[in-house]
Amino acid sequence: MMLRIEVFSEDRNQLGEGPLWDVEEQRLYWIDSYAPAVYSCDARGGNRKSWNLPEPVGSLALREKGGTIVALRNGFHTLDFETGAVELLHETHPGELRPRLNDGKVDRQGRFVAGSMDFEERDPVGTLFRLDPDLSLHTLDTGIICSNGPCFSPDGTTLYFADSHKKAIYAYSYDTASGTVGSRRVFTSFDSLRGYPDGATVDAEGYVWSVEVYSGRLIRFDPNGVIDRIVGLPVQSTTSITFGGPELDIAYVTSMARPFNNQYHCEREAGCMFAVHGLGVRGLPEPRFKG
């Protein structure tokens, strides 16, 4: 099957992030962090829906009971898809101005793992959190500058997580029964690469796909952290990835239109959503949050 890359959504998101394919509804969800809003559509890009949010959003977790958990700037909230109502569950950094919640993913057992970042992307003020189905909140790690790309191995026993500013993806041992993390190691470094690790996912073969932001590439790493494949994309400002479609064999990739270092992206498709066909691999179903 030949590789084919197409524009799936022509909306130019300021900061498109958090794509999520829901196998139950056969729908794609994603966010524009700075609109701020949640978007959804069917497999053909139709039947579009959207929900406005009161502050910047970093990620979302669809709930088994309906609606979603959204990681907003100041903490974890619920979003009711029927009414659009947003309600605070936990303020994550009370009294602190610079940390904001960012990327997140639901683990294989239905817990939501999401991290915060320094709004100025400079100092290690971020924290990695776990929100349990009983809605209790727990700290997994601290000292993070820019949280990105949490994702899990097929058996759920490894948590991959990037600190974009440090140009590294880490691998934590992950206790599937308790949701606690053990030892942490550097899974792979981006020091010799052009960009930074951003959003990520794991495919059915256990390989990690990381979006290299400010370089416009998808990089597939084997379970040992060695580069297996690099796929170029039409824009430099790519941000995150999920596998979706009826066969979970389409890679949906978000991007951003907002300036970087006061420079506007020259590509006309910056901020669009892309669909990458013909990669020859399948993703894994993303679990819903059990709370």
Binding site for substrate: residue ranges?
100, 102, 120
Q: 0.85 cut: is pTM over it?
A: yes
Other C-beta atoms lying within 10 Å of the C-beta of residue 110: 17
What is the domain count for the chain?
Answer: 1
261 falls within a domain: yes
Q: pLDDT (tens digit, 9 = 90+) per residue, 188-220?
A: 999 999 999 999 999 999 999 999 999 999 999
Residue pLDDT, tens place only, 110-152: 999 999 999 999 999 999 999 999 999 999 999 999 999 999 9
In a domain, 284, yes or no: no
CA distance 111 to 93: 20
Task: Tell whether the torsion through CA atoms of 224, 226, 228 and 231 is positive or negative.
Answer: positive
Domain presence at residue 51 = yes
Q: How confident is the model at residue 28 (pLDDT cuts 50, 70, 90)?
A: very high
- Does some domain include residue 283? no
- How far is it, in rounded angstroms, from Cα 255 to Cα 199? 10
Residue list, annotated binding site for a divalent metal cation: 17, 148, 198
Give a yes or no: residue 285 inside a domain: no
The CA-to-CA distance between both ends of the chain, in Å, stands at 40
Q: Is the pLDDT of residue 266 over 70?
A: no
Asked whether residue 262 is assigned to any structural domain, the reply reads yes
Query: pLDDT (tens digit, 9 = 90+) per residue, 40-55?
Result: 999 999 999 999 999 9
**With 90 as the cut, is the pLDDT of residue 261 above it?**
no
147 touches 161 (CB < 8 A): yes
Q: For residue 282, is it within any domain?
A: no
Q: State which amino acid sits at residue 250.
A: I
* 262 pLDDT above the threshold of 60: no
| The two three-digit tokens of residue 123, written as one number | 């100092």
Average pLDDT of the segment spanning 228-246? 97
Within a domain: 9 = yes
Annotation: binding site: 17, 100, 102, 120, 148, 198
List, by residue number, the catalytic residues.
198
- Closest of 216, 250, 248, 247 to residue 230, by C-alpha: 216
Task: Determine the structural domain holding residue 246 and report its residue range.
Answer: 4-277
CATH number at residue 95: 2.120.10.30
